[in-house]
C-alpha cells in the first residue's frame, strides 16, 4: 500500500509523498569533507532502490534549516571548512541534483538565494543578501534550471507513473550512466517517449576533472543546456559553455561510444541528447541497477500504448 492509494483501498489518498530520507541522506553526504564523501557514496545512490515506488516530492524543507541545524549554505562542506564561495558552488550542484533526479523539487523560503543564517519564524528573511553578486548567481542558476526542468519532459513526466509490475514506466525514465564513488562523480539519463533524453552529470568533489570519460547512451552531438560553473551563475567559467556541443568519441570498455568532459569541482552539467537519438543508440552495459538504453524508449512506448497514451 502506498500513501497515494485511494481511501477505498485503505490508502491515505495523498497525491504525493515527501521523501525526507532523500533530504537527510544527501545532506549528510554533502556535509562530509570531500576526502570522506567516497565512503558515504551510498547516500547518493540508495534512492534508486525505491524512488519509483511512489510519487515523491524531493523537499529541502524547514526541518533541516531550523532549530540550530544551520542553513543549507552552512551545511555545504560543513566538516571540510569549505569557503563561502565554494559552498555556493556546491549548493548549486545540489539544486541541480534535486531538479534532475526523479521526484518533484521543493525549496523552502530563502533557499532561492542561499540565505546565510538558518530560518527563524520570528524574523524576516534576509532579502538584502539576494542582492550580493555571488548570491545573484544562485538565483539565476535556479531560474534557468527550473526553466529546463519545465521545458524538457523527460525530467518530470516519468515521475507521474510509480513503478508497477504491469506498467514499469517510472523506472524506465531513469538510467544510470556513471557511478564513480572515488571521484565523487555520478551521471544519469532521463527518458520519455518521443523526447530527446536529458543527461545530468555531477562532480560533488573538490577536484577538477579534465577530460573525464563517461559512456554515452547515444553517439553524436550532445548540447550543453546548463553548466553550474558558468560565469552567468557566478562560477569560475570551467567546463563546457552553455549551448556548446560535445561530440562522442572512442569506445570505453563498457560502451561503444563515450563523452570526454571537463567537469569542474562542485558542479552540475545538464546535456541534451542528439536530435536523431533513436538512430544513435550506443551499445553499452547497464550501470547501477537500471536497464540499458537499447530497450528503454521502446519499452516506454509499449507501456504508454497499453494505457492509452
Of 112, 140, 157, the last residue of a domain is 157
- CA distance linking residue 274 with residue 208, whole number of Å: 26
Q: Checking DSSP bridges between strand 56-60 and strand 17-18, what pairing results, if any?
A: parallel
Same domain, 35 and 141: yes
Residue 2 lies in a domain: no
Please give the residue range of the domain that contains residue 77: 7-157
Q: What is the pLDDT of residues 180-228, one digit of tens each?
A: 999 999 999 999 989 999 999 999 999 999 999 999 999 999 999 999 9
Of 157, 175, 190, the last residue of a domain is 157
CATH of the domain at 283: 2.60.40.1180
What's the grid cell of residue 154? 523527460
DSSP H helices, 165-216, are 169-172
Please give the mean pLDDT across all residues of the chain.
86
Q: Give the pLDDT band of residue 169 (cuts 50, 70, 90).
A: low
Residue 21 lies in a domain: yes
Same domain, 224 and 280: yes
Say how many domains are in the chain. 2
CB atoms within 10 A of CB 187: 26
- CA distance linking residue 255 with residue 238, whole number of Å: 26
Same domain, 14 and 152: yes
Ranges assigned E (strand) in 12-167: 17-18, 56-60, 104-107
Same domain, 82 and 185: no
- CA distance linking residue 148 with residue 268, whole number of Å: 13
Cβ partners under 8 Å of residue 176, min gap 6 = 48, 186, 187, 188, 286, 287, 288, 289, 290
Q: What would the DSSP string read from start to end of 279-291?
A: G-BPPB---TTS-
Same domain, 153 and 253: no
Q: What's the pLDDT score for residue 300?
A: 37
Q: What is the pLDDT of residues 65-79, one digit of tens each?
A: 777 788 999 999 999
Q: What's the pLDDT score for residue 32?
A: 95
Q: What is the pLDDT of residues 98-107, one digit of tens each?
A: 999 999 999 9
Q: Give the pLDDT band of residue 28 (cuts 50, 70, 90).
A: very high
* Beta-bridge mates of residue 259: 214
pTM of the prediction? 0.87
Q: What's the pLDDT score for residue 170?
A: 54
Q: Checking DSSP bridges between strand 104-107 and strand 56-60, what pairing results, if any?
A: parallel
Q: What is the pLDDT of residues 267-295, one digit of tens each?
A: 999 999 999 888 888 877 766 543 333 33
Q: What's the pLDDT score for residue 299?
A: 40
Q: Give the pLDDT band of residue 11 (cuts 50, 70, 90).
A: low
Q: Does 113 have pLDDT greater than 60?
A: yes
Q: Give the pLDDT band of residue 152 (cuts 50, 70, 90).
A: very high
Whether residue 188 contacts residue 175, with contact meaning beta carbons closer than 8 Å, is answered with: yes
Of 157, 177, 207, the last residue of a domain is 157
- CA distance linking residue 262 with residue 97, whole number of Å: 18
Q: What is the pLDDT of residues 35-87, one digit of tens each?
A: 999 999 999 999 888 887 788 999 998 887 777 788 999 999 999 889 999 99
Residue 18 lies in a domain: yes
Helices (H) then strands (E): counts for the chain: 7, 11
CATH of the domain at 109: 3.20.20.80
| Radius of gyration from C-alpha coordinates of the chain | 19
DSSP H helices, 266-306, are 293-306
Whether residue 94 contacts residue 30, with contact meaning beta carbons closer than 8 Å, is answered with: yes
| Percent of the chain topping pLDDT 70 | 85
Same domain, 175 and 152: no
Residue 177 lies in a domain: yes
Same domain, 290 and 170: yes
- CA distance linking residue 298 with residue 309, whole number of Å: 14
Q: Residue 211, by phi and psi: left (phi above 0), alpha (psi -120 to 50) or beta? A: left
Q: Give the pLDDT band of residue 173 (cuts 50, 70, 90).
A: confident
Same domain, 17 and 129: yes
pLDDT top residue among 239 and 285:
239
Amino acid at each position: 500500500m502506498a500513501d497515494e492509494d485511494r481511501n477505498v483501498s485503505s490508502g491515505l489518498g495523498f497525491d504525493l509523498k515527501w521523501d525526507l530520507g532523500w533530504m537527510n541522506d544527501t545532506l549528510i553526504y554533502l556535509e562530509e569533507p570531500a576526502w570522506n564523501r567516497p565512503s558515504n557514496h551510498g547516500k547518493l545512490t540508495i534512492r534508486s532502490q525505491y524512488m519509483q515506488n511512489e510519487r515523491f516530492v524531493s523537499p529541502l524543507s524547514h526541518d533541516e534549516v531550523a532549530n540550530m541545524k544551520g542553513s543549507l549554505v552552512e551545511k555545504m562542506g560543513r566538516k571540510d571548512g569549505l569557503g563561502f564561495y565554494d559552498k555556493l558552488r556546491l549548493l548549486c550542484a545540489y539544486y541541480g541534483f534535486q531538479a534532475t533526479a526523479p521526484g518533484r523539487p521543493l525549496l523552502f523560503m530563502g533557499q532561492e538565494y542561499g540565505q546565510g543564517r538558518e530560518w527563524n519564524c520570528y524574523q524576516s528573511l534576509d532579502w538584502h543578501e539576494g542582492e550580493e553578486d555571488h548570491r545573484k548567481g544562485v538565483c539565476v542558476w535556479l531560474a534557468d534550471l527550473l526553466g529546463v526542468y519545465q521545458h524538457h519532459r523527460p525530467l518530470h513526466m516519468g515521475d507521474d507513473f510509480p513503478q508497477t509490475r504491469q506498467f514499469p514506466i517510472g523506472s524506465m525514465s531513469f538510467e544510470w550512466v556513471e557511478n564513480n564513488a572515488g571521484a565523487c562523480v555520478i551521471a544519469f539519463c532521463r527518458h520519455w517517449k518521443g523526447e530527446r533524453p536529458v543527461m545530468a552529470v555531477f562532480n560533488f568533489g573538490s577536484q577538477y576533472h579534465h577530460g573525464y570519460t563517461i559512456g554515452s547512451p547515444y553517439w553524436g552531438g550532445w548540447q550543453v543546456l546548463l553548466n553550474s560553473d558558468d560565469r552567468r551563475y557566478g562560477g569560475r567559467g570551467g567546463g563546457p559553455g552553455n549551448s556548446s556541443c560535445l561530440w562522442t568519441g572512442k569506445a570505453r570498455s563498457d560502451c561503444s561510444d563515450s563523452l570526454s568532459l571537463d567537469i569542474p569541482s562542485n558542479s552540475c552539467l545538464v546535456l541534451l541528447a542528439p536530435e536523431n537519438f533513436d538512430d544513435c543508440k550506443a551499445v553499452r552495459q547497464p550501470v547501477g541497477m537500471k536497464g540499458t538504453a537499447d530497450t528503454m524508449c521502446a519499452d516506454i512506448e509499449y507501456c504508454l500504448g497499453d494505457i492509452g497514451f
